[in-house]
Structure 1
């Protein structure tokens, strides 16, 4: 059958996490680089559609095309490995250690960042004709996004930081649901449908995705956004990464594992005595 039952899905999640931990450095970096690059192209595409149509919902509907492409090709995002690799450790798979999980996270972060920066430079060149003219309308919009989602949070102090963190949590709740969706079906169409819906939700709601931001904010700096690298790191990337980790692991990885692998003890059936029949009562 195309649909994978929840118990089997949970086992596939653990197997996937284990495989990523033991993947070679070379393959981990290549797959992460391509994932960061493809997702960044999808983000550029979605912003372009939103600006040119004036309808952000259309950009959100179309953005998941990049996410689906990269996961169908077997590439890895940091948000996905945040959810999957710890499960292999929790399940005590042979040879899996915490340092192996951290190694995977570090390599995927570096690969995603390099892929996103590559696309950021390429798109900045396109938006400015090789930095010879002012950014076009799309480039200006990207710069504005960078300002609003860095110094915009900073203006609210601790409340802004909390809002940023929660947006990171909610983002990877949805994104990791999409990652798990890729394992939920054995057909391409089933995988795409299961991935598409939660990714559309996260993008339209403006939740904070650490890899998308690796494209948007460096690109915004290149295109004249009025914020600094320190603003980007302190008031977006670092809290977003932490929020993404908490959201994906807590609301997707651990919940699926807890209820479909380490299930609770079943309750004993409570058998009530049969009610007396009307005939017996009248006797």
Structure 2
């Protein structure tokens, strides 16, 4: 059977999905290339938002904990945390873990060089962490964080940095970004705003309730502990968590989702660009 007769858009997501991804990549690449400060500010806003929602979750859990069963408290906290992705996406902020999917698609189609992608990842991650530092520096001069919230923060970080081993964090991180990015893939097919928000929220709710590992979320928690309980900081454990979560998140969002759907939707639409890039590499 001649595959040129296949109507790809009726089998997979097709040209529209790929075009949306590529358009997003190109915008991000241009922003990083010519407006680096603004790109960094967008990344900082994402870290700022996650930090706000992280504190919100701590407050929700400590408020409901005395009177509500633990499972219900965790579910409420997970739904609460899902607000973060909605706020980040609708404010066009730059979150590292969603970029894993976008730029892996670009790598598959040879639309961007690996070194450039790595630079964008590092700048985005730095911006996410910088946003967390700014938020907690402001919050620290207030009394928003109660002793119960600080104790819960320490408990969460103890598990992430000291109890979990590298392999455990890695696997948890794979599934965390799988659920985030599969929700994004579905949301991209939906025009209705409320439906789009619902899809994004249930993906995050699943990973949060199951205790999976998100590298940016973990980094914001670690920053919070630096400000509120510096004596409890376990630097090596935090570094172990960041490295394992970073790798796992890339596998879950970049390879399992990004590479998978890039291959499924590949119908030769970028063959000319691929050949041109290969020719340039051979002439260097």
Q: Is the shorter-chain TM-score for this pair beyond 0.5, marking a shared fold?
A: yes
Question: Matched residues in 1 for 2:176 and 2:267: separation?
Answer: 26
Q: Does 1:185 align with 2:201?
A: no
* 1:213-272: CA deviation from partner (whole Å, max 9, x where unpaired): 1111221243326342222112x1111111111110122111111112259xxxxxxxxx
CA contact (8 A) 1:182 1:195 kept: yes
The alignment's TM-score, normalised by the length of structure 2, stands at: 0.80
Alpha-carbon distance, 1:192 to partner: 0.5
Q: How many residues align?
A: 245
Alpha-carbon distance, 1:81 to partner: 0.8
CA contact (8 A) 1:128 1:136 kept: no
SS class of match (1:184): coil
CA contact (8 A) 1:145 1:220 kept: no
Q: 1:18 aligns with which of 8, 26, 47?
A: 26
Alpha-carbon distance, 1:210 to partner: 0.8
CA contact (8 A) 1:167 1:243 kept: yes
2:83 aligned residue = 65
2:13 aligned residue = 6
CA contact (8 A) 1:30 1:111 kept: yes
Larger radius of gyration: 1
Q: Aligned pair in 2 of structure 1 residues 67, 98: CA closer, same or farther (>3 Å)?
A: same
Question: Matched residues in 2 for 1:41 and 1:87: separation?
Answer: 30
Q: Aligned pair in 2 of structure 1 residues 182, 237: CA closer, same or farther (>3 Å)?
A: same
Alpha-carbon distance, 1:127 to partner: 4.7
Question: Matched residues in 2 for 1:122 and 1:142: separation?
Answer: 18
Alpha-carbon distance, 1:79 to partner: 0.2
2:56 aligned residue = 45
Q: 1:233 aligns with which of 239, 243, 260?
A: 239
Question: Matched residues in 1 for 2:189 and 2:51: separation?
Answer: 25
2:6 aligned residue = none
Question: Matched residues in 2 for 1:180 and 1:241: separation?
Answer: 20
**Stretch of structure 1 that moved more, 245-254 or 217-226:** 217-226
1:168 aligned residue = 173
Q: Does 1:198 align with 2:209?
A: no
CA contact (8 A) 2:108 2:259 kept: no
Larger helix percent: 2
2:114 aligned residue = 98
The aligned runs of 1:98-247 (5 Å cut-off) are: 98-127=114-143, 136-153=147-164, 160-224=165-229, 226-234=232-240, 236-247=241-252
Alpha-carbon distance, 1:190 to partner: 2.5
The alignment's TM-score, normalised by the length of structure 1, stands at: 0.80
Question: Matched residues in 1 for 2:136 and 2:248: separation?
Answer: 23
Question: Matched residues in 2 for 1:241 and 1:34: separation?
Answer: 20
Question: Matched residues in 2 for 1:141 and 1:122: separation?
Answer: 20
Unaligned runs of 5+ in 1: 130-134, 154-159, 264-283
